[in-house]
Amino acid sequence: MKFLRNLLATILGVFIACFLLFLILIGIASVIGKSDKVIVESNSILELNFEQKIMDDYSVTNPFDELFGGKSKIMPLHKIIAAITNAKTDANIKGISIRTLGLKAGMAQTQAIRNKLLDFKESGKFITAYADYYSQKNYYLSSVADSIYVNPVGGVDLKGLAAELLFFKDFEDKYGVKMEVIRHGKYKSAVEPFIANKISDANREQMTELLQSIWTEYKEDIATSRNKTTVELDYIADSLLGRNAKLAVQNNLINKSIYLDTYTNLLKNRLGVNLEKKLNIVSLKDYIKSGKGRIKSVAKDKIAVIYAQGEIRYGEGDETYIGQEIIIKALRKAVKNKSIKAIVLRVNSPGGSGLASDLIWRELELTKTKKPLVVSMGNYAASGGYYIACNAAKIYAEPTTVTGSIGVFGLVPNFSEFTTKIGINAEQITTNRQSLGYSVFEPMHKDFYEVTLESVKDFYELFLDRVAKGRGMTRDQVNEIAQGRVWTGVQAKENGLVDALGNLDDAIAHAAELANISEYKVRNYPHYKKDLDDAFDGGFPFLKINTKVLIENEIGVENYKVLQRFKQFSELKGIQARMPFVINIK
């Protein structure tokens, strides 16, 4: 008994100590928070160092965010755009320095930032860029600068775009672990890796055209900024003529190869600062913290921007995925708020649950009868992402937005061959013919396949109807460009899936025009609020272990992506309206 008393006392003591430590940390954080006020000094340079992941929006209230750095991992795109907009007219900001190695953003997001930097240059202020080495996406962004510099032992990784697809059919045949597929649509290649061991002609066709369209945008923007032709850039990419600093300078990809200290002195000379004195640098994060991450307005009228970002899943939804419940709630709040005169739905999603997509579509139908509805597309607005976008008064897409993918599929795991090989037999007892439905331990029954295929076909036909009605097209016209085919924003405008090429600001401006207002504020939805139960879910926040990082370190980032891809598809439920592949442009 004495041992048990001592053990319980020790456990209680440890718990109390942790709790007291936690309270002390909160106190320290509150003191630091009060004194950590950002002041932008005169004659300053705004430094863009995109170390954080960029999302369209990240509106989360968590009681421990400031203490444990939860928000430091995410940078909302709209705050970046607002900060650059404010810097354009800020007398304290004399120019911008782009200093980033990695850029954790999609191509459309990167293009949106780049276009806003072009707008900044109209003020007459300078933009310079420096990196030890330029990745392809980072160079695309940095090419907007007046002057680009690189470390003497660095280079520019300009080589063109490529896609690599993994196929699992031979693996499935070997081990007996399969994904049973029910699909409809010529181009619905999300399931192709599980039913074939090489790429189909249809998939190769759409992938080639998609990459070429994005690459064309990439080349044309760089060519304009660097006074080159797209033919020259293709030659440079084919021959890897930016692979080191010397070649990059010779081919006018950069202006000069210098070390960071020399670059800093160049900036000092630009501002007329003595080389012995400190350069006034304000980081993007601090600039936003100073209040420059939003556009101030005294207008009473508002435009609501509702962010639908991530996969679409049936359920509530949070900051990482789209659930119909929280989007519907946000739409109803915006409709109910009398000061909100129009609504913009910002879609950045590869799709997902067909049921959740249709529930959101229905609420949007009700919404647009009460207030103007405009859609802005981000990196993706494909499959279910396009499903919820197609009925707006006007649809804007970035030139590199991946959209369309009007197609449907069903996917379920099956382990029957695997369990047979290892000596496991599953027996079923039922009261009716269809009682069991589907078992992962038995081969897919013909009846289940036919019923599920019927549901897939029915949803595809419904998808066609939704798009035809929303876009003012015939079902045949939609079917011609559907069947799971994906398009860039440029291609989608040509075939009628979107109305105009533009960014979120363009969509907001048009929504204001439809509402017949000229002065307005922007109100963002939804807001995700976490309470103490959420914050403590799984233990003390500062004691949590990032299992993703641990696994990545053990098996490698690329292997982890393969594991996640297989796991993702094995967890899909219901009919899916989902983009046919994952694109990662570095």
Are 216 and 222 in contact, with CB atoms under 8 Å apart?
Answer: no
Amino acid at 218: Y
Active-site residue flag, 353: no
Residues in the chain: 586
Active-site residue flag, 188: yes
Q: DSSP letters along 238-270, please? A: HHTTTSSHHHHHHTTSSSEE--HHHHHHHHHHH
In the set 142, 143, 383, 416, the catalytic residue is 383
Distance CA 308, CA 55 (A): 11
Token pair listed for 231: 């033919």
Token pair listed for 410: 């069903």
3-state secondary structure of 398: coil
Burial of 167 from C-beta contacts in 10 A (0-12 / 13-18 / 19+): middle
Q: Which residues pair with residue 55 across a beta bridge? A: 76
**C-alpha closest to that of 138 among 96, 97, 84, 102:** 102
- Rounded to the nearest angstrom, the gap between the alpha carbon of residue 285 and the centroid of all alpha carbons in its chain is 19
3-state secondary structure of 140: helix
Find the radius of gyration of the CA atoms of the chain: 27
Are 307 and 57 in contact, with CB atoms under 8 Å apart?
Answer: yes
End-to-end CA distance of the chain: 62
Question: Residue holding tokens 């806003």?
Answer: 116
In the set 79, 188, 285, 394, the catalytic residue is 188
Instruction: Name the residues annotated as catalytic.
Output: 188, 383
